[in-house]
Homo-oligomer: A and B are copies of this chain.
Amino acid sequence: MTIPSGEMLKTLLLVLDLAGTFVFALSGALAGVKRRLDFFGILVLSFAAANSGGIARDVLIGATPPAAISDWRYLVVALCAGVLTFFAHRAIERVHGSVLVFDAAGLALFAVAGTQKALAFNLNPLMAAVLGMVTGIGGGIVRDVLLTEVPAVLRAEIYALAALAGALVVVAGHLLSLPSAPVAVVAASLCFAIRVLALQRNWQLPSAASRKGRGR
């Protein structure tokens, strides 16, 4: 193999990050269309939903300026998703539950890429997994807070747990020195599968009230 593994990891991180940016931007833009934001508001929400997670990760590990600020590709990808959604949101919405599925894909990609980058910055493995989870759920949280909704991640269904599962697979692969690309694919698939299954089958974590039977 002629490509050094450091270079490959870097490329892998970039591709995961840009793909996650695109799908989270779609989810942000669709949420903006639903709340009847104007064109620029939709673009701002695309950017915020897509890049808040990565920006938070980079600020927290001290990698400033964050990739999403220093690299214009993150902006362009997010704006493309926003413009596409603005003009074709009916087509996008026709795919049933599309916002939630895009959101699940973004969650998976960001959880994996966030964990990889945190490990590359030498955080200890446990906190790298947590930071990957935070990266994954950060964009959705900012999207929901900007629309004054309690973030979906806090309310229901298996969400943060799916991100954490993917992040832990990345950490396990790192500790076992497995090659990062296949580990990333497995980790992202696991996260995505858990999240989508949780949506389809309406899996719920217990709330404190539900523990007591029909508590009120």
Contacts and interface: CB of A to CB of B under 8 A. Distances in A.
A183 B66 CA distance: 28
Given A60-B66, A137-B44, A161-B40, A148 B148 contact: yes
Interface string A139-159: 001000111111101111111
Given A59-B59, A160-B44, A35 B150 contact: yes
B75 A207 contact: no
Given A153-B44, A208-B86, A127 B37 contact: no
Interface in A106-153: 121, 123-124, 126-127, 130-131, 137, 141, 145-151, 153
Contacts of A42: 207-208
Identify whether the interface residues of A are mostly helix, strand, loop, or mixed: helix
Nearest to A161: B40
Contact of A60 (B33, B64, B121): B64
Range for the number of chain A residues in contact with chain B:
35 or more
Q: How many copies of this kind of chain does the complex include?
A: 3
Given A38-B154, A41-B205, 13 more contacts: A36-B208, A37-B207, A38-B155, A39-B206, A40-B161, A42-B208, A44-B154, A60-B65, A61-B69, A75-B127, A146-B150, A147-B154, A148-B149
Interface centre among A86, A126, A141, A153 (most CB of B within 10 A): A153
Given A89-B208, A154-B44, A205-B38, A65 B147 contact: no
A75 B151 contact: no
A45 B126 CA distance: 19
Interface in A62-80: 62, 64-66, 69-72, 75
